[in-house]
Amino acid sequence: MASAINKLIGANVCRHASRYISTAIAVTIASTFVVLALTLVGGMSHQYTATYENSTRGTAVIVGKEYIDIAVSKYAVLDYADIDEKYLEKVACRHLHIPVCIGKADDIKIRELCTDDFYSLSKFCEFPFKNIEGVWEYIDFHYDFYGYGLYVFENEKEVMGLAGFYNEDNRCFLSYITDEKYRRRGYTFKVCKYLLKYIEETAGVRDVYTRIDISNTASIKLADKLGVNIIN
């Protein structure tokens, strides 16, 4: 009997998963707006701030004022005008551990990493993380600190690869890994082209480099087509 109930609950969760996620995001964003409203009118006391920090750390967006301890939140802005729907969505997704989708290249979804990606991407020798903990630390720090990073690209069925940026010697480098069955079909070009436009528009980065072995003629052609600087 218990087994049947568990199966019924599991099926219900799977069926309505998107609704549950949407509800969770909505609640988180609503909570954020409450904090914003209290902050803007100067009604947030240090005691309330501390309470909110303990209950929903990482979800509050604090408008900067001298008497407010911005340590209450990972996200702080100086003015209400700095906050838009995308910013609130990002804050909510961070707290709920949902990878932020930064867009699509045709039907290819491009999103941030999540820890589950370790299982599908660790088969590639070029994958830069040795364990799930490394992926988690990267997610927790890199995207917010730099404003960009490595992104998973996928279709409706599965992960197709990983592409994005890393910094070295004060330069921004483009790298990518594509599953063999999706190579030489134009997918990597579409994704990288989208990412180059994205990083220019969001972070102001125009000069991008890539490291390619001289024997990898396919990647050299791709880099030339994308207009990135090649370093051997």
Residues 203-229 pLDDT 10s? 999 999 999 999 999 999 999 999 999
Would you place residue 153 in the very low, low, confident or very high pLDDT band (cuts 50, 70, 90)? very high
Would you place residue 31 in the very low, low, confident or very high pLDDT band (cuts 50, 70, 90)? low
More confident residue, 32 or 88: 88
Determine the Cα–Cα distance for residues 96 and 15; give it in Å rounded to an integer: 19
Mean pLDDT in residue range 1-10: 46
Determine the Cα–Cα distance for residues 171 and 173; give it in Å rounded to an integer: 6
pLDDT attached to residue 67: 55
Q: What is the pTM of this model?
A: 0.73
Determine the Cα–Cα distance for residues 86 and 19; give it in Å rounded to an integer: 19
Determine the Cα–Cα distance for residues 161 and 176; give it in Å rounded to an integer: 7
Would you place residue 79 in the very low, low, confident or very high pLDDT band (cuts 50, 70, 90)? confident
Distances (CA, A) of 223 to 16, 173, 182, 218: 43, 11, 17, 9
Class of domain 99-232 (CATH, top level): alpha beta
pLDDT attached to residue 232: 79
Determine the Cα–Cα distance for residues 88 and 104; give it in Å rounded to an integer: 20
The residue to which tokens 């010697």 are assigned: 169
User: What b/e sequence results for 23-48 when a residue is b if at least 16 CB atoms lie within 10 Å of its CB, and e otherwise?
Assistant: eebeebbebbeebbebbeeeebeeee
Q: For 53-74, write each residue's pLDDT tens digit.
A: 444 444 444 555 555 555 656 7
| Domain regions of the chain by residue span | 1-98, 99-232
Res 2 pLDDT > 90: no
* Closest alpha carbon to 227 in 203, 204, 209: 209
Give the list of residues 6+ apart from residue 123 with CB closer than 8 angstroms, or none. Answer: none
Res 160 pLDDT > 80: yes
pLDDT attached to residue 113: 98
Would you place residue 88 in the very low, low, confident or very high pLDDT band (cuts 50, 70, 90)? confident
pLDDT attached to residue 45: 40
Phi and psi dihedrals of 183, rounded to 5? -80, 155
pLDDT attached to residue 69: 59
Would you place residue 28 in the very low, low, confident or very high pLDDT band (cuts 50, 70, 90)? low
Phi and psi dihedrals of 36, rounded to 5? -60, -45
Res 85 pLDDT > 90: no
Highest mean pLDDT out of 17-21, 43-47, 58-62, 226-230:
226-230
* Closest alpha carbon to 208 in 176, 230, 184, 191: 230
